[in-house]
């Protein structure tokens, strides 16, 4: 899969505002409805590691969907519910659709998760980052975590032994990085300017992760981009590794206890694969669809 995180050059245009549509009574359109929440958002990049990680967290914690976003900035798509057993209608149970941009809210943990299932339209990356951050700010989110990825071959030989995770915080992010879990992204893996000819860089100014971090900086919203080195293929193991890093760091409290700090004081958990993973690469398709 080609890296879809870089915006194509396109004429500037005015985009309609991002609209949140609540599907649960607990989620309204009122300002600051999610005050103090941590917002996790995937970047649509190589291996879809961020998206898989969000799926894994939602399935494991049983986080309910509270709404979706209506926007022309993300390509339209609809599919079978990612967290519903296949073909529930044949069992007399109501099914669900997966939409391009869905919002999940764990009220007990005050955790918000945005799932993005299709890429941003060409030329709309910067507008999308600004619109999402503006909504997060208005909704009362306290901080934003971008879950992204980068090609593993971009690493230098000396960096291979340092693990697969790197972090890029903005200046509003005041929490220290735990070196046992991830390191700050090395300067030699960044480029100051971006173009279609840029190669060998894990962090590019016009990539979606960088645009989201920059938009949060402009809005004075703490933001951390977590980047996982990977290759294309079945990236479920990469998502599990990223989810474990979030758990061990205390960024998400899977048990509802032990907020803050880092290390193994946070209880282990048995991660649960979502229903949609049964049809991933390496699995035989469900014969009943034929």
4 within some domain: no
Predicted pLDDT of residue 26: 59
Q: How confident is the model at residue 105 (pLDDT cuts 50, 70, 90)?
A: very high
Predicted pLDDT of residue 14: 80
Task: Report the distance separating Cα 290 and Cα 278, nearest Å.
Answer: 16
Closest CA to 26 of 82, 70, 67, 69: 67
Average confidence (pLDDT) over 97-111: 91
pTM of the model: 0.82
Split into its structural domains, the chain has a count of 1
**30-72 pLDDT, tens per residue?**
666 899 999 999 998 888 999 999 999 999 998 999 999 999 9
Residue 112, beta-bridge partner list: 39, 105
28 within some domain: no
Closest CA to 34 of 103, 110, 101, 109: 110
Burial 191-229 (b: 16+ CB within 10 A, else e): beebeeeeeebbbbebbbbbbbbbbbbebebbbbbbbbb
For residue 277, the SS3 value is helix
Q: How confident is the model at residue 140 (pLDDT cuts 50, 70, 90)?
A: very high
Average confidence (pLDDT) over 121-138: 93
CATH of residue 209's domain is 3.40.50.10900
Higher pLDDT, 126 or 159: 126
**200-259 pLDDT, tens per residue?**
566 676 788 889 999 999 999 999 999 898 888 889 999 999 999 888 887 777 654 444
The answer, yes or no, to whether residue 264 has pLDDT greater than 90, is no
**152-189 pLDDT, tens per residue?**
887 777 677 678 888 889 999 988 887 767 778 777 67
Percent of the chain at pLDDT > 90 equals 39
Could you list the residue range(s) of the whole structural domain that residue 166 is in? 38-191+199-289
What are 148's two structure tokens? 């992204």
Average confidence (pLDDT) over 261-270: 62
Percent of the chain at pLDDT > 70 equals 73
Predicted pLDDT of residue 224: 92
24 within some domain: no
CB 203 within 8 A of CB 227: yes
Average confidence (pLDDT) over 193-203: 54
16 within some domain: no
Predicted pLDDT of residue 200: 54
2 within some domain: no
Residue 254 vs residues 15, 37, 166, 242, 248: alpha-carbon distances, Å: 37, 15, 22, 14, 10
Average confidence (pLDDT) over 87-93: 46
Q: Which residues contact 273 (CB under 8 A, 6 or more apart)?
A: 56, 59, 236
14 within some domain: no
Give the single-character DSSP code of 234: -
135 within some domain: yes
CB 172 within 8 A of CB 160: no
CB 182 within 8 A of CB 189: no
1 within some domain: no
């Amino acid at each position: 899969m080609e890296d879809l995180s870089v915006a194509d050059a396109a004429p500037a245009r005015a985009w309609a505002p991002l609209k949140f549509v609540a599907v649960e009574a607990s989620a309204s359109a009122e300002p600051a409805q999610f005050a103090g929440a941590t917002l996790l958002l995937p970047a649509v990049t190589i291996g879809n590691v961020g998206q898989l990680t969000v799926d894994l967290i939602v399935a494991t914690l049983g986080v309910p969907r509270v709404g979706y976003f209506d926007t022309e900035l993300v390509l339209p798509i609809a599919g079978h519910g990612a967290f519903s057993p296949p073909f529930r209608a044949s069992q007399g149970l109501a099914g669900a659709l997966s939409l391009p941009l869905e919002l999940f809210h764990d009220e007990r943990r005050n955790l918000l998760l945005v799932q993005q299932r299709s890429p941003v339209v060409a030329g709309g990356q910067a507008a999308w980052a600004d619109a999402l951050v503006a909504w997060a700010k208005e909704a009362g989110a306290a901080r934003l975590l971008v879950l992204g990825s980068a090609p593993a071959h971009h690493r230098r030989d000396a960096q291979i032994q340092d693990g697969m995770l790197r972090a890029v915080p903005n200046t509003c992010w005041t929490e220290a990085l735990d070196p046992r879990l991830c390191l700050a992204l090395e300067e030699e893996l960044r480029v100051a300017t971006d173009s279609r000819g840029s190669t060998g860089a894990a962090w590019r100014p016009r990539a979606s992760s960088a645009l989201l971090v920059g938009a949060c900086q402009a809005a004075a919203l703490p933001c951390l981009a977590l980047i996982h080195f990977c290759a294309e293929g079945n990236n479920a193991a990469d998502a599990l590794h990223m989810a474990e890093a979030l758990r061990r760091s205390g960024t998400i409290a899977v048990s509802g206890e032990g907020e803050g700090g880092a290390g193994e004081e946070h209880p282990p958990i048995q991660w649960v694969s979502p229903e949609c993973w049964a049809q991933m690469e390496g699995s035989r398709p469900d014969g009943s669809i034929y």
